[in-house]
Amino acid sequence: MDTIHNLNHWMMTEGRCSNDPILVVSHFCSTLIDAGVPLWRVNIGQRFANPLLIAWGVVWTPDGTESYDVAHARMLTDDYIGSSFEYILENQRPLHKSLIDLDPEKDHISYLEFAEAGGTDYYATLLNYGDRSQHGCTFASQSPNGFSPQHLEMIEAAKPGLACAMEPVTMRKSSKSLLRTYLGDGPSEAVWRGTIRRGERTTLEAVVMFSDLRGFTALSDSASEGEVFEALDGYFDVVVQSVEESGGDVLKFMGDGILSIFPIRTPTDRPHQCQQAVRASTGALIGLATLNDRRAGANKPPLEIGIGMNVGQVSYGNIGSPGRLDFTVLGRAVNVASRIESLTKSIGHRVLVTSAIAEMTPGLFTACGSHEVRGLAQSIELFGLSNPDPCHKTNRS
C-alpha cells in the first residue's frame, strides 16, 4: 500500500494547495491505474450550496478530464432518480454493480449506456467532508474481470486524500458561485478578493440600465401569490439572460426593478458598451414577446416593461452596519436611468435613453423632445428606441 500512502500524501499537500480539480482527479486516476486498478471512467461529483446549481464535478476518461455543472431541475429527472448517486446518498453505503447482463426494464439508463460503451463493472462510493456534507464518486471498468476486492480496497484507502484535496476547491467554488449569483461577475470578483470592504467604493464610468415591470401593483392585487412569483421569474429570466449575453452585470433586484451596468474601462469602450446595452434592451423586449406568447397560450395576461438607460460615472461598494452589508451602486447616472424609465409609459416608448447613448448608437433612436426629470434642475433630451427587432438582429451579427 505504499503507492496509496504516497498518493494520499500528495493529495493532502500538493493537491490540496493546487486549487486545480482537473489536476487532482487526473493524478488520482493515473496513480490508481499504475497501482493496477483497471479504471475506464471516473466521475467525482461535488454538491453545491447554491440556489441555481446543485452540483458540479469532474469526469476522467483515458481521453481527457473535464468538469461539469448540474442545475437543480436535473435532480428531478431520470438522470438522477434511480442513479448510483441517489442510491449511495439514500442508503449511506457504497454500490458495487456488474454491468454484464443488465435488465433494460429495471436498470438505470446510465448503467445501460456504460455497458453499451464496453463497461463491465461499476463502483460508487461517498466522499465525506469536514462540514458533514457528502459527495459521490463513481468508477467504471472495461476489464473482463472487473474490480477485485483489492481494487476496491485501494479506492477506499485513497478516498481520504481525495477528499482533502477536493474539499477546499468545492468550498471556494460554492462561495464564488454564491457571490456571483447575488452580485454579478465583476462585483463578486471584487468582493471575493477583499477589495471592497464597508465604506470602500469603486468609481468608474458605465452604462446604467434600469428596467421595471409595468402594472406590477395591479397584477399583485388581482393574481395569486404563485402567479405573481411565476410572472416575476419569467420577467427576470428574460432581462438577466439578455444583459449577461451582452456582457453586462445585473447588480440588484429591487422589487420588480432590475439594475444593470455595462462598465466602461477606457474611453474607447464607450461606443461598444452603449451598443451592448442597447442590444440587451432589445433582447429583453424580444424575449418578453416570446414569454407573452406562452402566457397567452395559458390564458395569462401579458407582461410589459419599461427600460431607461444613461451613461456616466457610478460608484459601487458595500454599505451598511459592521454586521450587515449590502452591495449597491450609486451616482447621478443611476438616478437618471431610474427616473427615465418611469417616463416610458407617458412618453410611449418602452426604451428611453439620454442623448449620450443615442449619439453612440446612430440611427437606432427617435428624438422624443425635452422632458423634465425629477431631481434635475433642467430638462433633458430623451430618445426612444425606433425598431427593436431589426436593431437586435443587426447587433447580433
Over the stretch 264-288, which tens digit does the pLDDT of each residue have? 989 899 999 999 999 999 999 999 9
The strand pairing partners of 60, in sequence order, are 42, 65
Residue 244: all three cell numbers together: 449577461
DSSP state of 85: H
Do 176 and 203 belong to one domain? no
Taking CA 45 as the corner, what is the angle to CA 43 and CA 49, rounded to the nearest 5 degrees? 165
Do 222 and 134 belong to one domain? no
Q: Sorting pLDDT into bands at 50, 70 and 90, what band is 350?
A: very high
Least confident of 305-309, 311-315, 350-354: 311-315
Q: What is the mean pLDDT of residues 302-314?
A: 93
Instruction: Please state the φ and ψ torsions of residue 68, each to the nearest 5 degrees.
Output: -150, 165
Can you spell out the DSSP letters for 267-329?
Answer: GGGHHHHHHHHHHHHHHHHHHHHHHHHHHHHTT----EEEEEEEEEEEEEEEEEETTEEEEEE
Contact between 361 and 386 (Cβ < 8 Å):
no
What share of the chain in percent tops pLDDT 90? 57
Tell me which amino acid residue 321 is: S
Of 182, 210, 236, which residue sits at a domain end?
182
Contact between 119 and 40 (Cβ < 8 Å):
yes
Query: Looking at residue 264, what is its pLDDT?
Result: 92
Helix residue spans in 184-247 (DSSP H): 185-192, 216-222, 225-245
Query: Looking at residue 397, what is its pLDDT?
Result: 33
Do 282 and 335 belong to one domain? yes
Do 198 and 252 belong to one domain? yes
Contact between 57 and 79 (Cβ < 8 Å):
no
Spatial CB neighbours of 45, under 8 Å, sequence gap ≥ 6: 55, 56, 57, 85, 135, 136, 137, 138
Of 153, 182, 211, which residue sits at a domain end?
182
What is the phi-psi region of residue 333: left when phi exceeds 0, alpha when psi lies from -120 to 50, beta otherwise?
Answer: alpha
Q: What is the CATH number of the domain that holds 88?
A: 3.30.450.40
State the angle between helix axes of 21-34 and 149-183 in degrees (0 to 180), rounded to the nearest 10.
180
Do 231 and 307 belong to one domain? yes
- The DSSP element (H or E) to which 205 belongs, if any, is strand 201-214
Contact between 258 and 211 (Cβ < 8 Å):
yes
Q: What is the mean pLDDT of residues 378-389?
A: 82
Q: Does position 329 have pLDDT exceeding 80, yes or no?
A: no
The strand pairing partners of 138, in sequence order, are 43, 124
Burial class of 184 by CB neighbour count within 10 A (0 to 12, 13 to 18, 19+): buried
Taking CA 247 as the corner, what is the angle to CA 242 and CA 252, rounded to the nearest 5 degrees? 70
Q: How many domains does the chain have?
A: 2
* Reported pTM: 0.63
Return d(Cα 397, Cα 251) in angstroms, integer. Answer: 27
Do 358 and 321 belong to one domain? yes
Q: Does position 44 have pLDDT exceeding 60, yes or no?
A: yes
The strand pairing partners of 126, in sequence order, are 136
Per-residue model confidence as pLDDT tens digits over 90-149: 999 999 999 999 999 999 999 999 999 999 999 999 999 988 889 999 999 999 999 999
Query: Looking at residue 200, what is its pLDDT?
Result: 65
Contact between 333 and 289 (Cβ < 8 Å):
no
Do 145 and 202 belong to one domain? no
Do 197 and 257 belong to one domain? yes
- Residues in the chain, how many? 397
DSSP state of 177: H
Higher pLDDT, residue 50 or 295: 295
Do 23 and 162 belong to one domain? yes
Return d(Cα 83, Cα 356) in angstroms, integer. Answer: 56
Of 131, 161, 182, which residue sits at a domain end?
182
Q: In angstroms, what CA-CA distances link 206 with 6, 38, 309, 375?
A: 52, 55, 10, 20
Q: Give Cα 25 distance to the centre of its chain.
A: 24
Higher pLDDT, residue 18 or 190: 18
Do 252 and 166 belong to one domain? no
Taking CA 325 as the corner, what is the angle to CA 319 and CA 258, rounded to the nearest 5 degrees? 80
Mean pLDDT of all residues belonging to the chain: 86
Q: Does position 346 have pLDDT exceeding 50, yes or no?
A: yes
Instruction: Please state the φ and ψ torsions of residue 184, each to the nearest 5 degrees.
Output: 95, 170
Of 374, 185, 153, the residue nearest 262 (C-alpha):
185
Q: Which residue is it, cell 474607447? A: 268
Query: Looking at residue 172, what is its pLDDT?
Result: 83
Instruction: Please state the φ and ψ torsions of residue 218, each to the nearest 5 degrees.
Output: -65, -40
Query: Looking at residue 391, what is its pLDDT?
Result: 39
Q: Sorting pLDDT into bands at 50, 70 and 90, what band is 184?
A: low
Q: Does position 74 have pLDDT exceeding 60, yes or no?
A: no
Q: What is the CATH number of the domain that holds 390?
A: 3.30.70.1230
Q: Which domain holds residue 154?
A: 2-182
Per-residue model confidence as pLDDT tens digits over 163-178: 999 999 888 877 777 7
What share of the chain in percent tops pLDDT 70? 86
Query: Looking at residue 394, what is its pLDDT?
Result: 36
Per-residue model confidence as pLDDT tens digits over 194-239: 655 655 667 889 999 999 998 877 788 888 888 888 999 899 999 9
The strand pairing partners of 262, in sequence order, are 207
Of 365, 28, 73, the residue nearest 166 (C-alpha):
28
Do 73 and 161 belong to one domain? yes
Residue 271: all three cell numbers together: 461606443
Query: Looking at residue 46, what is its pLDDT?
Result: 86
Do 69 and 120 belong to one domain? yes
Query: Looking at residue 170, what is its pLDDT?
Result: 85
Q: What is the mean pLDDT of residues 168-196?
A: 71
